[in-house]
Amino acid sequence: MENNFSRGLICADEVKSAHGRLELGIRLPWYRSLPLSVVELGELVVDGQVVPHQNVSLEINGHEYSLDQLGKLTGEFWYVLDSARLRLPCVLDPWQPHTITLTINLYPPYIPGLTWVTRGSLALEAKR
């Protein structure tokens, strides 16, 4: 099921391909800034294929992290207005349409026990 952050999760105007990687601007699906220690990347799917988390990175505040580092980053806050850069080892053919689906799990640190799951998709049209 969608929530209100689903639609804006992947920023449509912040998708780039560079150096053999796909870069996505993504938003924090919560109303306030959170430390990266409570942010967990869930399933990443590009054109129906699950993308393994190895070699996927997240850049925030000018620092690039591998996904398995996030859980320890209690002091690195993702400000609520900032896009983070998610980099995936994927090359997309611009002449074909693509669909990217991302799931983010948040563990709001003042609501122990809550897992907030947001799934958002972005459809990219083929270049003409």
Partner 1 sequence: MNVQSTPGELKLGTTLYSFTAAFHSRQASFEQLVAKVAELGVGPGIELVGFQSIRGFPVVSDSFAGHFRELMARYQLEPSCLSINADTALCRGQMMTPEEAARYLEPQIRAAAKLGFPVAKSQFAAPAESLRLLLPLIEQLGIKVGPEIHAPLGVDSPPVLAYRELYAQVNSPLLGFVPDFGTCARTLPASYLDTLRRRGIEERALELAVSIWKGPESPQWKRDEFNRRATELNVEPTKASALSVMFSMLSPHKPESWLEIMPQIIHLHGKFYDFDAEGNESSIPYGQILPLFMKAGYRGYMSSEWEGHLYAWEPGYEPVRQHHALCRRILAAM
In this structure, what are the phi and psi dihedrals at residue 68, rounded to the nearest 5 degrees? -80, -5
DSSP structural state of residue 5: T
**Closer CB to partner 1, residue 50 or residue 117?**
117
> Which 59-118 positions form the footprint of partner 1 (CB under 8 A)?
71, 74, 77, 79-81, 107, 109-112, 117
**Closer CB to partner 1, residue 21 or residue 65?**
65
In this structure, what are the phi and psi dihedrals at residue 78, rounded to the nearest 5 degrees? -95, 105
Count of other CB atoms within 10 angstroms of residue 86? 24
**Closer CB to partner 1, residue 4 or residue 54?**
4
> Which 20-59 positions form the footprint of partner 1 (CB under 8 A)?
27, 31-35, 37-38
Strands, sheet with 39-46, edge to edge from the N-terminal-most edge strand? 49-50, 39-46, 98-106, 116-124
Give me the least distance between CB of 45 and partner 1, in Å please: 17
Dihedral Cα 79, 84, 56, 116, nearest 10 deg: 50
Q: How many residues bind partner 1 (CB under 8 A)?
A: 26
**Residue recorded with tokens 């912040």:** 14
Give me the least distance between CB of 127 and partner 1, in Å please: 27
Tokens of 80: 């609520």
Applying CB under 8 A, the residues found at the interface with partner 1 are 1-2, 4-5, 7-8, 27, 31-35, 37-38, 71, 74, 77, 79-81, 107, 109-112, 117
